[in-house]
Amino acid sequence: MIGHCQIYTFGHVGKGKATGKQVDVKFKCVPVRPGQLVFVTLKTIPNYCKATWTQRHLVPECRHEGIRDEVAECITGKLAYTVDKARNALTVKVTDAPEDTDYNLRLCHKRNVICAGEGAPMKIKPQHLQSSIMLHYSKPLPCLCIEGWPARVDARRVQVCPFKNNLEELWSGITYDFNKEELIWEPQCPVKVSVSLCHADGGKSCQDIGNVFHSEGQKVIFSSVDPHPMLCTKFTTEVGTWIKCPFAKGNFSVWTAKITSKDGQQWAEISTWVKASFSVSVCEMKPPSQCKQMEGNKFQNFSDKMKHTVFNLSKGSCEVCICIQVQRVDVRFSVPVLQCDLQCSNWCRDPERSQDIEKILLPAFIFLTVILAAVLFGRMTIKGKLTVVGHTCCRWLEGNSEIVVGTSTHCVGD
């Protein structure tokens, strides 16, 4: 900074004195910019013994409270907005902007430091800054921001991101390549997330399959994937966990398994639309909803495209609670599928389903018992006619009123 060099001359301190007295040196203002690193150097002329004193000073940046609204270079304006979800639009209001220049406004996608815009920014004249501006967006992504700045060279910019907490919008970018059997997720915004495949068991849980991939905005590819409706993708961030099942509607299924019966004979049938290999095993249902593989009942099957294979089951299959478990084994990521719909009159039911039925019937039985008790107690003061309707319900008739009082196999008395 040679242009700002200044020279000061001091008189003699005095004869015979070894030390000098303290002096104050005041410089005139030196032009600097926010965030600039300045070095201040002091030395004597002529310079003796290379005696030099140097100190560095970092000028505060525009985000510093003391200068952001005082230095012209730091004034960027303030943005306020409202969201219209029905029209996918943002209504923006600009305040505290410089009055001597135009103002630029746009939507952009923020990736780390840089915010990449979509098209040319909208230029607003100073006299129109009091009006609201409408900006349309396609998807409410968390990295979608409103960016504004004065229309001058190297002007500071202000950004606000209306949907910064809308992380769930990121998990929809899943695609599947049939030819390569690849499941691909490419984030539309930079996000720190762990991604894995999992097996949905029909409830709220999803059991992990294979390794977990950690991404900070990079594309994630799972190779050799069977597109089964029960195979899902799990996304985990520091905020929470989301599970998305891209094949849930069954539009991508390449094979099916079912159990068929005729004249007391049961068999499992597998149909496939691609060249695939399967593992088929017979297992016995054990509570709680666990299928224990039975020894000597595991088969390997290799099916050609557009063909189906049949596995005969023994006639004794109906004597125990057995199911057929089928899983594709020629791919890296697949899920086991249970088929338990044997056509048996004495085949035991799903334990969980039986428990659910009990949970429904028990309160109903208690409720009907209370009603019957109340009606029997009321017979002491109210007289009506009790009749049998079929063999399932008893009804009490009084005038034009009819009240169902419970279930029974037979009813007697007036």
Position 278 scores a pLDDT of 86
Euclidean distance between CA atoms 256 and 228, whole angstroms: 9
Percent of the chain with pLDDT over 90: 29
pLDDT in tens, 279-338: 888 877 665 556 666 555 555 555 555 566 776 766 666 666 778 888 899 999 999 888
**For residue 194, what are the contacts with CB-CB under 8 A and spacing of at least 6?**
212, 213, 214, 215, 235, 236, 237
The residue with tokens 């305040």 is 95
Q: Is the Cβ–Cβ distance between 41 and 1 less than 8 Å?
A: no
- Note the helical H segments in 254-399: 351-378
Q: What pLDDT, in 10s, does the model give residues 66-124?
A: 787 788 788 888 999 999 999 999 999 999 888 888 999 999 999 887 898 877 889 99
Q: In this predicted model, what pLDDT tens digit does every residue of 3-62 receive, in sequence order? A: 566 677 766 555 544 456 677 777 677 788 888 888 888 887 778 888 888 899 898 888
Q: Reply yes or no on whether the pLDDT at 138 is more than 60.
A: yes
Asked whether 223 and 332 are in contact (CB, 8 A), the reply is: yes
E strand or H helix that includes residue 54: strand 52-58
pLDDT at 353 over 60: no
pTM value is 0.64
Phi, then psi, of 377 in degrees rounded to 5:
-65, -35
More confident residue, 204 or 244: 244
What DSSP designation does 275 have?
Answer: -
169-195 pLDDT per residue, tens: 999 889 999 889 999 999 999 999 999
Which SS3 state, helix, strand or coil, does residue 336 take? Answer: coil
Cα distances (angstroms) measured from residue 346 to each of 62, 115, 319:
79, 66, 7
How far is 66 from 45, CA to CA, in rounded Å? 37
Give the chain's mean pLDDT. 77
Which two three-digit tokens encode residue 362? 């028990």
| pLDDT on residue 34 | 86
Give the tokens for residue 68. Answer: 């952001």
CA distance 180 to 158: 44
Regarding predicted confidence, which is higher, 321 or 233? 233
pLDDT for 302 equals 57
What does the pLDDT read at residue 399? 43
SS (H, E, C) 177-241: ECCCCEEEECCCCCCCEEEEEEEECCCCCEEEEEEEEEECCCCEEECCECCCCCEEEEEECCCCE
- Does position 232 have pLDDT exceeding 90, yes or no? yes
23-29-33-35 Cα dihedral, nearest 10 degrees: 20
Does residue 392 contact residue 407 with C-beta atoms inside 8 Å? yes
Supply the pLDDT for residue 319: 62
What pLDDT does 192 receive? 92
Tokens (6 digits) for 73: 């270079």
Buried b (16+ CB within 10 A) or exposed e, 287-318: eeeebeeeeebeeebebeeeeebebebeeebb
**pLDDT (0 to 100) of residue 235:** 94
Q: Bigger pLDDT: 146 or 3?
A: 146
The sign of the torsion formed by the CA atoms of 174, 175, 181, 182 equals negative
Beta bridge partners of 269: 258, 310
Backbone angles phi, psi at 372, to 5 degrees: -60, -40
Three-state secondary structure call for residue 314: coil
pLDDT at site 125: 92
pLDDT value for 92: 95
- pLDDT of the residue at 337: 87
Q: How far apart are the C-alpha atoms of 349 and 352, rounded to whole Å?
A: 9
Can you name the residues that pair with 93 across neighbouring β-strands?
Answer: 80
At 162, give phi and psi (nearest 5°): -65, -30
Residues recorded for the chain: 414
Reported as a pLDDT band with limits 50, 70 and 90, residue 394 is: very low
Beta strands in 50-167 (DSSP E): 52-58, 78-84, 89-95, 103-111, 114-117, 122-124, 133-136, 144-150, 158-160
395 CB-near residues (< 8 Å, 6+ apart): 386, 387, 389, 402, 403, 404, 405
Higher pLDDT, residue 125 or 313 = 125
Q: Which residue has the higher pLDDT, 395 or 281?
A: 281
In tens, the pLDDT along 369-388 reads 777 766 666 554 444 444 44
Whole-angstrom Cα distance, residue 225 to residue 175? 12
- The token pair at 115 is 């915010």
